[in-house]
Structure 1
């Protein structure tokens, strides 16, 4: 209850302070233009959805190279890191990355096992990004399957202000307290060149290299030749290569662009166990059985938008994407420092042909707009037998290839009953090749009260389709029997959101903005891995069995005055899960478990020095969840596990020289030096579902960076 009072009091601040204004008819600033979930580009104030925007300036101030660098500070989002494979994924409202969709220019981004979901955030480069738009809650009507907890849309650069825009960047960063010019730390180089031939043609090309040399954390690296278990790294070394190009043309009401992205990544695993090798008559030498994960992603996007018959607005995109992860196994000779006996094969791959299009502006009356749309998705997934976790229809462990298709049609109407009141109903129907046909629906309302108070309400129904692992996993040995389930059905969800937004402008130049939102989400037929058999072996299988409920209340306050800009946000999340062990007739408590998040930022500009200082802080409160274990008699039982609270703080200073041609950014990430946080199991012993008493990996400690950028812009 005290959290609710605090949030409500904070939201009222703008309402009370509004009475202090000298001129209540102050002219509003031009609103940001957003495109995610809209019928067309429009101001954020007119959007029926509550859209959050991460600006290009925010990205620059954080010296962010990938999505993980940015989202760490976002309210309601938790980043889940893995030092063993270098992946970082997103969790929103307690739901993992399968429920959250990541788009690039409204096109879902391919991953190893999905389309727009389960995306590794460290594999999303931000060099050519203009802004990031986030909408929380169900977006199934406009963005299809798996847009359950929200969508994130990355808007890339498609035009330029100058004829030539050239930018070169070097960034050096420590990894914890580790740094050396080549074999320790993080080393980033990038180059961007944009050219506007005339008012019609635009070209943009870029390249980026990110070398993460790994985190030693007491280990001794790849060339350590003592067999004491200290060889290797705590966080695996990772090399990333990014190349992108865009060609755009526009004239009158016609626009078209083609965008190509390439992403390459090598993640190296160095085995701590050394194997002796006979070297008679000299002392024996050692070699290690190492491996390397090699990822290649190709992204192509062709888009055309404009007018048909001088009236109808159309927007059509066609995309072909492929992501492939290969496994290279090799032996590494410690004395000669050479690799031998290399083998390489595809571990997992995903190829997707995707197209979406909309047609709108059917009526001359601006009070009513209507949109028709389609989505076509043809996804071909492949997993190698070397993964040891997939089977075919005959239950034989070998390469498996499966195709998932869907053909969707959706319609959205936007009805402006008055200048203040808008209604937006929507409906999508999806023809599925593997599952029963699905549908999504939504209804959004927007009303502007006196003095600019914006109110929005929405209800949406969406669905999540089972992923490749849930459908086809097969992992059986002496200790495990874990199987997928080809008869799984999509999960269904309903979300509700009510939000209030208000901006106040004062004659003194001060600005205050408030955003208060309340969200409720209900997920049925949730897929989970459950115990289905106890004797003679303990068997686990993916089943549609569990339920998930969540409610969230959050507020964000922003204050601007002269050179100061500050934000503070608070969120309370309550999560109720019903977990079921079918074979043992044991069910968890489904009471709501609560957690608190807080984030804030403050920046101060010194114009005469061309300098900006910024500080970012995020607090993640205690998190709780029920996990399965056994009591002292060996009987199955659910226990309440806790993740201790922790805080994250980043700081930076950015200064421009030579009329903004040269830019220097210095800063620090993770000022509190967090590496892990303790997970506490309140009784019982761990089972397959439980993590036991352990540490949850968060980061590699405090790190410092220096970023140098040279900009050359001219006509």
Structure 2
């Protein structure tokens, strides 16, 4: 039944591409396109872009009632959000590739975390309240965005304007966590405040702050104050407290614009030992305790941008970012609710100076556009890693790169454009790298848009793969400073149709196909023994290929109705070799469906939204003592819904909603060995949650 639905969606989308009849001038459709900036020589409409850009608008984000970026991306057709209950992090997987291959940027500057530059981004650390839109491009983006943009990029465009003299916004959101909620120690509690002011026609500034307190999810655990040792102490999802403050000042005059943005983020995560231990001293007698800890994350973000147009168009960014992680260790005396022996140490840090600049110009009546640019990254990393004999050591290393790139577009006719690009990267730790891309866009009759591209990208090993060591009794996992970058060759093509049936009714259909081949993939492999303990080390030995076929379809009516449905097939072939066992190169299938519906009742301004995601049964390799076998993860569905009602002339807005209405927590993963089935679980969520959000917006003009 599910497979039949997939085939129907794909065939319906393909049929729509060719069967629909256009009724209005195509130029009217262009006006409805978003203007995009990611990977563009200059800002332009999606229709003119050689790259296939997907846009998530501020309106869509608000209709989700999302509390973090993971809530938003969970509705994207090819993306899977991967939460980690033990670390408190949430990262993204695209085409089966983890967050090391996907780059997250804010206003075209890669976002730094303690493990990398733009990659392995914790989605829970990104504030949604300042986002104007999100632009996503799938596939090889190495030419315009450098290392680690193999599966694609996500560029967050923040708000840099105010519509009135003063704009003051305050919002309050209360949310259950599964069935757990009260006003103080359970659930999620969010507050946000922002003030924007237009000083005059040229100067604007804004300041804002967001607090997001998540009290954790107990699930089948018993919290921190249990006195019996059944290995169920603690939380399924760790408690965390997030505080972010930002400020921006923007100057704009005719063909010149500059802005400076500052952001300070603090997040602490509490971890509670599963075991309850016993102790004794003369003061307390016998007591119960847990060896607990907290993780303190801090990030500061500075970004200065200058851009303008004239005889030459120019765009320069200078950024400094620093993210640190401090761990506090302490003994929690359970019976006395008391912390003792508190010690804190810095375990990770990343300091990054970043600059990117581009000069562009059009020639021959704008038929030819050229852009030349540079990107420089000065990256200083620090970590405390495990070493032999149960000791630790400090590692402090620089991973720098200095890149030059050239991008060109030639518009042979108004219908046909060709883009060429190349990048060369001078690396401080690795052999120098290069990327290239060739892309084309052709406007066919009946408002059909065809795009195709081929490109080479690369991924450089991250700090942990190079330098981290995990050595203790029975475990021996080593980083490898001799690792080389992975390389990727990808191809993608898409066919899109926009049909404007009337002034109010618009339909969009897209059918896309992509293929990527990754060589020298890094794998943790057996390299020998230390006594009877096996030693594993990161080495370049594996390969990874995927083929993705997707159909997306959207319908909008008079800004009151927005409906979408999409389906995706992804076939993944990977040769994993750990020097003992090796997989074959068969293709394993993953499937997904996404659907969304938003309707606004014009009379009352009430908006009702629903978003559904279905992930089909997926296959992946699992390592066993007898070699690699194919395991299966069960299918699941994810449904979010909300209703939004404005009051007082849209100054006050109330949103009621629910996420994960189908109550998904764990999904079963099954392995079949020698005729026997064994199962484990994959953690995806904390069950059905309900939220209430109240927003007040005050506009002042004088």
Asked if TM exceeds 0.5, the reply is yes
- Contact preservation (8 Å) 2:17, 2:509: no
Structure 1 CA distance for aligned equivalents of residues 696 and 407 of structure 2? 45
| Residues 320-371 of structure 1: CA deviation (Å, up to 9, x unaligned) | 0011011001122234323222100101111100000000015363101100
Query: What is the CA-CA distance between 1:389 and the residue it aligns to?
Result: 6.1
1:707 alignment counterpart: 693
- Contact preservation (8 Å) 1:26, 1:506: no
2:543 alignment counterpart: 547
Structure 2 CA distance for aligned equivalents of residues 280 and 466 of structure 1? 52
CA distance 1:696–1:390, shift in 2 (3 Å)? farther
The correspondence for 2:397, drawn from 394, 397, 402, is 402
Within-5 A mapping of 1:241-640: 241-278=243-280, 284-307=286-309, 310-361=310-361, 363=363, 365-385=365-385, 388=386, 397-507=392-502, 509-533=504-528, 536-562=532-558, 563-582=560-579, 584=580, 586-630=581-625, 636-640=626-630
1:633 alignment counterpart: none
CA distance 1:202–1:508, shift in 2 (3 Å)? closer
Q: Higher mean Cα deviation, 36-45 or 221-230?
A: 221-230
Structure 2 CA distance for aligned equivalents of residues 107 and 620 of structure 1? 32
Q: Higher mean Cα deviation, 525-534 or 88-97?
A: 525-534
Matched, 1:696 2:682: yes
| Unaligned ranges ≥5, structure 1 | 631-635
The correspondence for 1:123, drawn from 121, 125, 132, is 125
Query: What is the CA-CA distance between 1:282 and the residue it aligns to?
Result: 7.3
Structure 2 CA distance for aligned equivalents of residues 396 and 272 of structure 1? 24
**SS at 1:58 equivalent:** helix
Structure 2 CA distance for aligned equivalents of residues 230 and 8 of structure 1? 46
Structure 1 CA distance for aligned equivalents of residues 287 and 18 of structure 2? 76
Matched, 1:43 2:39: no
CA distance 1:373–1:175, shift in 2 (3 Å)? same
Structure 2 CA distance for aligned equivalents of residues 685 and 163 of structure 1? 71
Query: What is the CA-CA distance between 1:296 and the residue it aligns to?
Result: 0.3
Structure 2 CA distance for aligned equivalents of residues 396 and 463 of structure 1? 35
**SS at 2:177 equivalent:** coil
Query: What is the CA-CA distance between 1:270 and the residue it aligns to?
Result: 1.8
CA RMSD in angstroms comes to 2.2
Q: Higher mean Cα deviation, 569-578 or 157-166?
A: 157-166
Structure 1 CA distance for aligned equivalents of residues 372 and 631 of structure 2? 47
Structure 1 CA distance for aligned equivalents of residues 206 and 27 of structure 2? 40
| Residues 459-512 of structure 1: CA deviation (Å, up to 9, x unaligned) | 110000011111112222331221111111100001111001111111373221
State how many pairs are aligned: 696
Structure 1 CA distance for aligned equivalents of residues 240 and 610 of structure 2? 28
CA distance 1:224–1:638, shift in 2 (3 Å)? closer
Structure 2 CA distance for aligned equivalents of residues 515 and 245 of structure 1? 39
Query: What is the CA-CA distance between 1:13 and the residue it aligns to?
Result: 4.0
CA distance 1:653–1:479, shift in 2 (3 Å)? same
Structure 1 CA distance for aligned equivalents of residues 483 and 19 of structure 2? 54
Matched, 1:673 2:673: no
- The TM-score normalised by the length of structure 2 is 0.96
Query: What is the CA-CA distance between 1:26 and the residue it aligns to?
Result: 8.0
Structure 2 CA distance for aligned equivalents of residues 711 and 4 of structure 1? 43
**SS at 1:268 equivalent:** strand
Matched, 1:138 2:140: yes
The correspondence for 1:664, drawn from 636, 645, 654, is 654
**SS at 2:363 equivalent:** coil
Q: Higher mean Cα deviation, 396-405 or 289-298?
A: 396-405
| Residues 362-396 of structure 1: CA deviation (Å, up to 9, x unaligned) | 536310110000000010110024xx2699xxx98
- Contact preservation (8 Å) 1:383, 1:390: no
Structure 2 CA distance for aligned equivalents of residues 212 and 396 of structure 1? 34
CA distance 1:692–1:365, shift in 2 (3 Å)? farther
Query: What is the CA-CA distance between 1:226 and the residue it aligns to?
Result: 3.9
The correspondence for 1:654, drawn from 623, 644, 648, is 644
CA distance 1:458–1:12, shift in 2 (3 Å)? same
- Contact preservation (8 Å) 1:421, 1:446: yes
2:214 alignment counterpart: 212
CA distance 1:23–1:236, shift in 2 (3 Å)? closer
| Unaligned ranges ≥5, structure 2 | none
The correspondence for 2:159, drawn from 154, 157, 160, is 157
Query: What is the CA-CA distance between 1:619 and the residue it aligns to?
Result: 0.6
| Residues 568-617 of structure 1: CA deviation (Å, up to 9, x unaligned) | 000000000011132x3x32111111111100001111011110001100
Query: What is the CA-CA distance between 1:230 and the residue it aligns to?
Result: 3.8
Structure 1 CA distance for aligned equivalents of residues 477 and 397 of structure 2? 20
Q: Higher mean Cα deviation, 230-239 or 52-61?
A: 230-239
- Contact preservation (8 Å) 1:65, 1:127: no
